Amino acid sequence: MALGALIGAYQEDDSGGLTALLPLAGRTLVEYQVRCAAAAGASPIVVLVERIPAALNQAFERLRQEGLNLILVSDANEAATRFEAGELILVVGDGVAPPLDLLSGLADEADPLVFTVPDDEEHEANERIDGISRWSGVALVDGRTLGSTAAVLGDWDLPSTLLRRTLQAGARQAPVPPEREPLLVHNPGDLQLFERSLIANSRSERTDLASRYVLPLVEDFATEKLMETAVRPTWLLHLTLGLTLAAAFSFTRGWLWAGVVMLLLSTPLDLVARRLGILRLRPIPPNNFSQLLLWPAAGLALVALSWWEARHGGGWGALVCAFCAAAFGQAYQLERTHTNVALPPWLVSRRNAILLLLPFAIGNAWTGFLIAVLAYAAISFFFVQYLVHRIRTELTPH
């Protein structure tokens, strides 16, 4: 069944500004709400507004530039006309910040649903449903119910009236687990803890030594600074690829330290890009062109370094080391891609190899690095082969 979304953006916060414009993860609360609805599969996404100040208009423009099917309406009747009669509509209350995992899977629901929280002191600001529960701020309603509610609304508040009529029509109530409860926001302070949890949850699995022990502080700092800007995650991936290719070119010209610096600068950028995508609820797809080319580009930089070293005292052995290291590295990547075995973080990776380069560069031991990275890639390949073979042996019945 098709899923639409209805979000309110007209109530004021404690300071007299729009609650929808409270800052969250470098954007505004309403942008987070709209992206959550889009990530849940909702389209169109209708936002009910009374006035559109400049900051709210800028937020809507950013959302439209992302290709979201966003519609602004000023009254309930106009909102009702934007949905089909039999369509389910995700309703997110004004000033409500729902966790994304609460909305995941709602597109598969077939009947109206109201998410509830306990009727206790902690939730006294939420709208009461009965003696034991209150509305969490998130619900699925039927398009017909929205239409009939809009027709008789008058001066009543749309979300509250729609909630009552949905419950009267027999909608199922679903208590929300405490760890997935939506946050009802009244001021910027209410969002601070929620924002910290979003930033923390944007950290993806750390699969290599560099990202686990060396880069976290840089990554966290860059993420928090860039999430407030218009920088897109894909731009960072393009920059990472560009720096790697520029490093390869620098090596061919003998600008060795320039190449090393560019490779070092590239190491956290794809991690930051991934986190920005998660924070903006638009994760980078696995088949992103620049992301797929990072590994081959790193191999090209390795070959470029060996080519320069071969012409300046390293001889043909430098080229052999680089090509063999690239071959072992690619074989390792293939093995890693086709197995679900948990691998230790010390195995070869683009970031680990770049950090390995630094001490050899300081010692001006470029050939030494080529030998070391060959040994590193070979050991990684044979180790993952050993792990896979051992597990297959254990699973084979005797």
- Which domains are seen in the chain, by residue range? 3-190 (3.90.550.10), 202-395 (1.20.120.1760)
Least confident of 51-55, 95-99, 392-396: 392-396
Residue 341's pLDDT is: 79
Mean pLDDT across the chain, nearest whole number? 91
Q: What is the pLDDT of residue 155?
A: 66
45: closest CA among 53, 54, 36? Answer: 36
Query: Looking at residue 397, what is its pLDDT?
Result: 64
Neighbours of 208 (CB within 10 A): 21
Residue 370 predicted with pLDDT over 90: yes
CA distance 321 to 375: 9
Give the C-alpha distances (Å, rounded to integers) separating 248 from 96, 124, 237, 353.
49, 61, 17, 14
Total-model pTM: 0.86
Q: Could you report the per-residue pLDDT of 118-175, keeping only the tens digit for each?
A: 999 889 999 999 889 999 999 999 999 999 998 887 767 888 899 999 999 999 999 9
How far apart are alpha carbons 116 and 174 in whole angstroms?
6
Convert the pLDDT of each residue in 267-325 to its tens digit. Answer: 999 999 999 999 998 889 988 999 999 999 999 999 999 999 999 988 899 999 999 99
Question: Which one has a higher pLDDT value, 77 or 204?
Answer: 77
pLDDT of residue 17: 86
> What does each C-alpha distance from 215 to 4, 162, 262, 377 come to in angstroms?
41, 49, 15, 21
Least confident interval from 22-36, 153-167, 253-267, 317-331: 153-167
Q: Please, what's the b/e burial string for 325-355 (b: 16 or more CB within 10 A of its CB; e: otherwise)?
A: bbebbebbbebbeeeeeebeeebbbbbbbbb
Top mean-pLDDT range of 104-113, 276-285, 351-360: 351-360
CA end-to-end span of the chain, whole Å? 50
Residue 228 has what pLDDT?
Answer: 87
Handedness of CA 378, 381, 386, 389 (dihedral sign): negative
Provide mean pLDDT across the span 51-77.
91
Q: What is the pLDDT of residues 207-222, one digit of tens each?
A: 899 999 999 999 999 9
Asked if residue 7 has pLDDT above 80, the reply is yes
DSSP β-ladder status, 23-24 and 27-28: antiparallel
Pairing of strands 70-73, 113-118: unpaired
Smallest CA-to-CA distance from 23 within 180, 181, 198, 158 is with: 198
pLDDT at res. 395: 65
C-alpha of 53 from chain center: 28
For the chain, helix (H) and strand (E) counts, in that order, are: 16, 11
Q: Which of 47-56, 82-91, 233-242 has the highest mean pLDDT?
A: 233-242
* Residue 393 in this model has a pLDDT that exceeds 90: no
CA separation for the pair 330, 58 (Å, rounded): 45
Q: Give dist(CA 259, CA 264) in Å, integer.
A: 9
- When pLDDT is averaged across residues 80-97 and rounded to a whole number, the result is 91
Rounded to 10 deg, the angle between the 233-252 and 256-266 helix axes is: 160
Percent of the chain with pLDDT over 70: 98
